[in-house]
Amino acid sequence: MASYVIARLLSQALSIEPTPKDIQRILVLISGSGTNLQALLDASLPGQIIHVLSNRKSAFGLTRAANAGIPTSYHNLLSYKSRYPTDEEARAAYDAELAALILAQQPDLVVCAGWMHILSEAALRPLKEKGVDIINLHPALPGCFDGKDAIQRAWSAFQQSEITETGIMIHHVIGAVDRGEPIIVRKVDMREGESVEELEARMHAIEHEAIVEGTKLVLEERLRR
């Protein structure tokens, strides 16, 4: 079943209307409200957002994309867990079909803009083989607070006098979580008496700038290759 779906999705790529060669095609992965997606939509990018994909059906980012006239799709892991005997098999099948969904849109760049799902090699390898770059926004400095809840964990560490700063990075995606080569790094000073909600608000404002800048840098680098 999985191989059939992958073959069908890849065949759909043949019917996609091509864009001029110098226009880079961007696919965005989201899981939530899509504020980072909105920052990309509002920016003047050297590329075109051609599709938005979410692993959550209720993600408001899908509405943002639809309002901007951008096609969307939904791809959730839960159904795979009921179809395969182990979580490992379910995950491998999910990621393989995720890669097929992405490649069917023929993107040049995939931007993880609040994508709350770890991408395994089953998803990353096919993209790499096709020359598709994939980048991610992570609200922490390189090597710090990898994975989820990074802002909250940084705030707690500051309360324990373990750190004095945190940050934002845009990085290339590899199999190791949040360990890919950084493209953009922004340091953020911690503030005495600041609530975790206030820190989140400051971080999100910086995220919106960084994701646009990082996306532009990668697109411009692709044009120089």
pLDDT of residue 225: 84
pLDDT tens, 80-116?
998 999 999 999 999 999 999 999 999 999 999 999 9
CATH of the domain at 166: 3.40.50.170
138 counts as catalytic: yes
In the structure, what pLDDT confidence band is assigned to residue 214 with cuts at 50, 70 and 90?
very high
Q: Is residue 121 part of a domain?
A: yes
Partners of 186 in the beta sheet? 168
Q: Is residue 173 part of a domain?
A: yes
Number of domains, the chain: 1
Q: Is residue 215 part of a domain?
A: yes
Range of the domain at 130: 24-224
Give the H or E element holding residue 54.
strand 47-54
Strands 133-138 and 165-172: antiparallel
pLDDT of residue 3: 47
pLDDT tens, 144-181?
999 999 999 999 999 999 999 999 999 999 999 999 99
pTM value surpassing 0.75: yes
- Check 51, 75, 117, 138 and give the catalytic one: 138
